[in-house]
Structure 1
Amino acid sequence: MTRDLDRITINPQVCLGQPTIRGMRITVGFVLKLLASHLSIQEVLEAYPELEEEDLRQALNYAAWAVSDRIVSFTSA
């Protein structure tokens, strides 16, 4: 992981080793689900004041990084 993702932590003792935000029990996946459900960044920050805008940006960056190496094969119908 790069310095650009220094707020994303993975610890087997926290949330079963899922990527979390700064070691808190808030997973990257949870943050992504909030944003995908059409909540704005401001709404997420208001609902979870322990988060910072950079946390959300890094969660999105982590997701982009995580899926960039995956190859998905589709067959034609």
Structure 2
Amino acid sequence: MKSWQERISMDTEIRFGKPCITGTRIAVLDILGWLANGMSYEEILADFPSLTREDILAALAFAANREENTKILVSA
């Protein structure tokens, strides 16, 4: 699989700059929401033929990377 950086882009003119699958208006948030609501990869791909399995994996990798780089501030 290509790295997620090759599949995810942000453009202020598309979905207000939200991270999207390059060449589409499908946001990473959309894909994560569909998966969280129980849609299978096959259902997502059937509903959105412009997506590939690698796009779904890239969205997950993007979210994992963002989570890994989130800093939590704890006040004492």
Calculate percent identity across the aligned residue pairs. 32
3-state DSSP of counterpart to 1:34:
helix
For residues 45-71 of structure 1, give each alpha carbon's deviation from its aligned partner in whole angstroms, at most 9, with x where no partner exists. 011111111000000000000111223
Give, in whole Å, the separation in 1 of the partners of 2:36 and 2:72. Answer: 21
Give, in whole Å, the separation in 2 of the partners of 1:23 and 1:49. Answer: 13
| Post-superposition offset of 1:22 | 1.2
| Native 8 Å contact 1:11 1:18 kept in 2 | yes
**Normalising to structure 2: TM-score of the pair?**
0.86
**Normalising to structure 1: TM-score of the pair?**
0.85
| Post-superposition offset of 1:73 | 6.0
| Native 8 Å contact 1:7 1:58 kept in 2 | yes
Unaligned 5+ segments in structure 2 are: none
Runs of 4+ aligned structure 1 residues displaced above 6 Å come to none
Q: CA RMSD in A?
A: 1.7
Unaligned 5+ segments in structure 1 are: none
